[in-house]
Chains A and B, each alone.
Chain A
Amino acid sequence: MKIAGLLLTVLLPAGMACAQNALDCRIAPGWEASGPIRQYTAENLFDYKDGAAEGYLSYGFARMSSIDCKSGSDTLTIDLSEMNDADAAYGLFTSNRDSQLPIAKIGMAGQIQPQSASFAKGKYYVEIVEVAANAEADHTALMKAFATGIEQRLEGRETLPEALLWFPKENLDTVRLVPESVLGLKLLKRGYVAKYSQGQAFVVLEATPESAAEVMKKLRERFSGATSAQIGDEAFQAKAPYLDGICVFRKGRYLAGYANLPDAQQAASLAAKLAARLP
């Protein structure tokens, strides 16, 4: 057993080997592991998560360690995912969290529910899911104990991604990282989308100002009837099916704007405020 453990540690990247120590079922009194830690990579994640694996992969998944814990007849599973970076971990959290429930301060952000918990800290994303005999059972305290216990054993950033500071707070509903096709547009590959009580804002970061300008050019061609606006380095506004009033601007290598507003002028007005907040 010791040899197997040593071998596992040698085979895993150093960071993940340390992080794996966080997978300790004994965090909560009366709980113990009911099997060995399982390892998954992008190659075999489908075997475990089925189609849901696509969600992990789209956000930049590196590897996962998973363990089953038991206490009497109750069981729970802890999945510790290592993502490519902290933004990816936070992004996966925002994709999976229940947007109608409050955020808890666990790591960068977390969420505790009666039979599950999740949080992101540094490049790690953790999910704890209980398989309770009684679907109505409220094990919020247990979920919190596991989440905070694991979080304390993990190293990594606890501050939210800088992108969250860019979006104006007034009437802000949720902010999430969309891994591809922001606003349903293939040209906007990956970026943050903030949903407001009316409309949505987005920020996409391109590699260089030149590549951003190229995307901007193609975007403008897509929106027939677009007119220029004076925001950032270049901007346009338009009225479009499905996206309603939209304004897109480029500031350096940032592509950003507002969509789904009643008219393009309103989108442009809000976009100007967003531009002022971007670096």
Chain B
Amino acid sequence: MSSNTSRRDFLSAAISAGLALPVLGASSAMGQQHSAKSAASPVKLDYRTLGRTGLKVTTVGMGCMITSDPSVVARAADLGINYFDTARGYQHGNNERMVGAALGAKRKQIVLSTKSEAPNKEELQKQLETSLRELNTDYIDIWFLHAKDNVADVTDELIEVQQRAKKEGKIRFAGVSTHKPLQLLPWMAQKGVFDVALTVYNFTMDASMDQAVEVAAKAGIGVVGMKVMAGGMHQQKPGDPLYKKLTQDGAMLSALKWVINRPNITTTIPSMTDMYQLDENLRAMGNPLSASDEKLLTAHLDAIRPLYCRLCGQCDGDCQKGLPVADVLRFLTYADGYGQFALGRERFLELSAEHRAVRCGDCADCTVKCPHGVQVARRMARAQELFA
């Protein structure tokens, strides 16, 4: 798939051709498949190598953030999921304690990641010791600096603590989690001190996201996807026609299958609160993205078509005020599509003062038309209303 091809076109073309997608179905070529021994039913497990760490992890991991009952974590481990993610801050520390207790004797057979949002080295060091104690382990496989959305927030002193912990054997690998991958991933690739990146990633994202992920992967960074449905669900509210369809059983599975079939994503950490979700998510492994999966995801993209600029570069006409239309629409997508208002506004404010002052409502007619149906003038006006 060309990185310039829009995701919706890609999905639509595959559906109209009635084909399973060759690239999307590439997991078995990239990874390995095994059947887990399970008391319930055999589960096909896909494994991939997490970048330079060399760790072999299942393509579906477990995000434990909102898991309440340890039995779900324990069963996930028994069924063969071998990547588990928590954070110091989840449930104010109770989550780490629950995960540590639930994994128990299986600790050494799984890859365990946790995170710290500590802003300085003293607090970071303290939180590491707390995480080790609460998780009942003497090492953490991957320790993320949590929710770092600006390069400036990943300070040298935080990196120093990570590297020292690595030398001391308290952590095996260092990572950063981010909701602003376009900024962070290329920087991490250049920095050379990080082994793993945890990033938002889902089917609504544009080609620039794939490029950022590819840059990181080529630098040897293992990329873990989170919020595999969040960007898509964010658009839909209860009462919207597509809401029920997207929240029905199976929609989450389609979105998850889409992500784990992407070439540079090693694993994912969907949240799971019960055995049913666990069983459903396990089905994402060993099953290619089907035509019905694609149809569901495409339906969602159709619903947001008037809103969603896919940065195809095919705008018809130029803005008479000289506005970078595609850029502004992208900033709006950050806010409306991914729930990243701050990022959208930050980008908007980087425009020149002259461009920031333009109000599209002042023009009698918009000279820019979108071949894919994005309502350019209306969306630009919304961006100005939202950010300016």
Residues in A lying within 8 Å of B, measured CB to CB? 44, 46-47, 50-52, 54-55, 58, 95-99, 118, 131, 134-136, 178-186, 193, 241-243
Contact = CB atoms under 8 A, between A and B. Distances in A.
Contacts of A97: 92, 94
Contact of B147 (A50, A96, A131): A50
Given A54-B271, A131-B119, A181-B273, A241 B75 contact: yes
A55 B66 contact: yes
B250 interface: no
B94 A181 contact: no
A98 B66 contact: no
Interface stretch (B255-263, B274-282, B355-363): B274-282
Contacts, number: 87
Given A99-B94, A242-B75, A183 B69 contact: yes
Nearest to B39: A241
Given A183-B71, A186-B274, A96 B92 contact: yes
A135 B123 contact: yes
B247 interface: no
Contact of B72 (A55, A118, A184): A184
B94 A184 contact: no
A95 B119 contact: no
Per CB-CB distance, the 8 closest pairs between chain A and chain B, nearest first, are A181-B274, A184-B69, A242-B71, A184-B72, A186-B276, A96-B92, A181-B273, A186-B274
Contacts of A55: 65-66, 90-91
A96 B72 contact: no
B38 to A, nearest CB: 10
A241 B93 CA distance: 27
B245 interface: no
Contacts of A185: 274-275
Nearest to B339: A46
Nearest to B276: A186
B275 A54 contact: no
Nearest to B234: A46
Contacts of A184: 68-69, 71-72, 75, 273-275
B74 A180 contact: no
Nearest to B126: A135
A96 B274 contact: no
A272 B74 CA distance: 28
* Residue of A44, A98, A183, A184 ringed by the most chain B CB atoms within 10 A: A184
Contacts of A180: 68, 273-274
Contact of A52 (B69, B90, B226, B273): B90
Given A54-B65, A55-B66, A183-B71, A98 B277 contact: no
B158 to A, nearest CB: 14
Contacts of B93: 98
Interface string B321-347: 000000000000000000111100000
A168 B72 CA distance: 26
Contact of B94 (A98, A135, A183): A98
B9 interface: no
A60 B271 CA distance: 18
Contact of B341 (A47, A58, A134, A241): A47
Nearest to A183: B69
A118 B93 CA distance: 14
B13 to A, nearest CB: 32
B231 to A, nearest CB: 11
Contacts of A178: 68-69
B179 interface: yes
B66 A58 contact: yes
B114 to A, nearest CB: 13
Interface string B43-86: 00000000000000000000001101101101100000000000
A76 to B, nearest CB: 14
A50 B271 contact: no
A242 B340 CA distance: 39
Contacts of A131: 119
A243 B275 CA distance: 12
A188 B296 CA distance: 28
A197 to B, nearest CB: 14
B181 to A, nearest CB: 14
A96 B94 CA distance: 7
A54 to B, nearest CB: 5
A184 B68 CA distance: 7
A147 to B, nearest CB: 15
B122 interface: yes
Interface in B212-271: 226-227, 230, 234, 271
27 contacts: A44-B339, A46-B230, A46-B339, A47-B342, A50-B147, A51-B90, A52-B90, A54-B66, A54-B271, A55-B65, A55-B91, A96-B92, A97-B94, A136-B126, A179-B68, A181-B68, A181-B72, A181-B276, A181-B277, A184-B69, A184-B72, A184-B273, A184-B274, A184-B275, A185-B274, A186-B277, A241-B39
Nearest to A200: B69
Interface string B7-47: 00000000000000000000000000000000100000000
A243 B230 CA distance: 31
B80 to A, nearest CB: 15
A253 B131 CA distance: 41
A50 B179 contact: yes
A243 B342 CA distance: 44
Contacts of A50: 147, 179
A100 to B, nearest CB: 8
* Residue of B230, B274, B341 ringed by the most chain A CB atoms within 10 A: B274
A95 B273 CA distance: 14
B22 to A, nearest CB: 33
A98 B92 contact: yes
B89 interface: yes
